[in-house]
Structure 1
Amino acid sequence: MTTATVLPAPRLVTRLRIKAPVLVVLSATWLALMVLTAVFADQLRPYDITRMDLTARLAPMGTPGHWLGTDELGRDLLSRLIQSIRVSLIIAFGATVLSALFGTTLGFLAAQFRGWVENLVMALADFQAALPFMIMSLAVLAFFGSSMVLLVCLMGFYGWERYARIARGLAISASAQGYAAAVVQLGATPRRVYLRHILPNVASTLIVSMTLTFPEIILMESGLSFLGLGVQPPQTSLGNMVGFGREYLTRAPWIMLAPSFVIVVTTLSVSLLGDWLRDRLDPTTR
């Protein structure tokens, strides 16, 4: 009669436990709160974002029924802030994913074909790095107009050259280590080699790069919306709220206080979390 050996539960819990600094825990909590706010924005908004009450214009923070106050048209700032969080996160997340996919694909193509393909990709990356992205964005939005789809696609071209350089360098390094060549000798196609063997080994570095690009795209979108070329009314975003609130900075500073606070804390939280992930996922620090 045999007996099964059961590992003690405390040992398993200890192995799964991740020690994180307090600031990282607070950052992750804040980001989770932002994601939940974006997902359940329709249920959390106390009022419609276009509902106006001219009798309650420029109501200060703490006013019953308008805890963050109202703007120049009597619209509830809490409702608009919740919707702005949703819009800004959608733009930032969609643009970050597009940038990562586009840059990683070009980097892998450069590592696979080398020669003129590699030279072309690196030339495009140098051109992108030397081009002032804000000026290009202003020109495109001024010429074609602003829409959510165009804004996400335009922001998706921000920072792709970083992913291309990282993916190319790591793919060449992984190929030089021998395991990629061994898989090729077994008959694997280049697509399988890159997706099933090289990509998992370089994914940690790419994820950290995404956490660094994400706050930059939030700030870029906020700047474009602040200048009036980003998200257009009646829709709203964090930068849009700051842009409209600048005209009432002396009389009603609370209009731009809440969205500015969210922008600063969110970008700081993503940066702190990305820095911690870099230390955790970097095998050379273990």
Structure 2
Amino acid sequence: MDKIVTQNIGEDNVKRLKIVLLSFAISFSLFFTKIFAQGESLLKIYIVGGVYFIVSVIGLLWAFDFKIRLKSLVYILQGGLFVFSEVLFVLLFFFQQFNRIYEGILLIVLLGFMWVITYVCFLMVNVFNVSLYKNLPLIQVARTASYILTLLMVYFFTFSILASGFPLYVIFPVIFLVYLFVLYMQFNELGMEKGVIWRRVVILSLVNMFTIVPFIFVGSSHEIVAIVPTVGGFVGGGLLNLSNQKNIRWQIFGYNILLLVVILLAVYISWF
């Protein structure tokens, strides 16, 4: 019995080490990708993001020793999609070549943050994968982490699409479809009925999309605009999942006040 427990602990440690190495390699290889990029174009940035997506998926399969089930692929693809979104964000945020030292320092700090959240993302995928084989008390923690990472994906994708300079007739449908896909993956993990999931996802995607419309037309900073649908996703998700409680009215009031404050701050920063 002790031998089996020791073996399981050893396998978990090896898996954790692989996840650490994978997340580190993905995050900090971006530094060299950016430094040595010559004449990068928008198409090249999206291709690089696609390469990182594939590397993430294959890397997670390697970290799990290919011990997965069919449903595991959904979680693994979600992890790859998160990496894709953050790679696009980093490369588009630093679209031009560096001409100041502080920009390089800022990139290193940002990549350090990316390493942490990528590591958390891969751990989340691991918990979901293991939960397919046995009950885990950490599953609720993984769902919370998934919710937070989904909001980050909303921010990364919103910024990336806006920063890509697409025409408006491309921006709106693309953003809406991205929101649909990302939010569907998140709500699908909660075990809801398909009809309920799609209804909530469509409503939340429409709300998120319409919150950024005024800022797009006034030419606001992409970094600021992307915050609005991120907070909108948090508020909308909270409102759609409210339970019957005594303080439900105060919760609704608090969520709406939060969204209003963020929108007003975004307007103030953009116009003043």
Q: TM-score, normalised by structure 1?
A: 0.35
Specify the structure having the higher radius of gyration (Cα): 1
Instruction: Considering fraction of residues, name the structure with more helix.
Output: 2
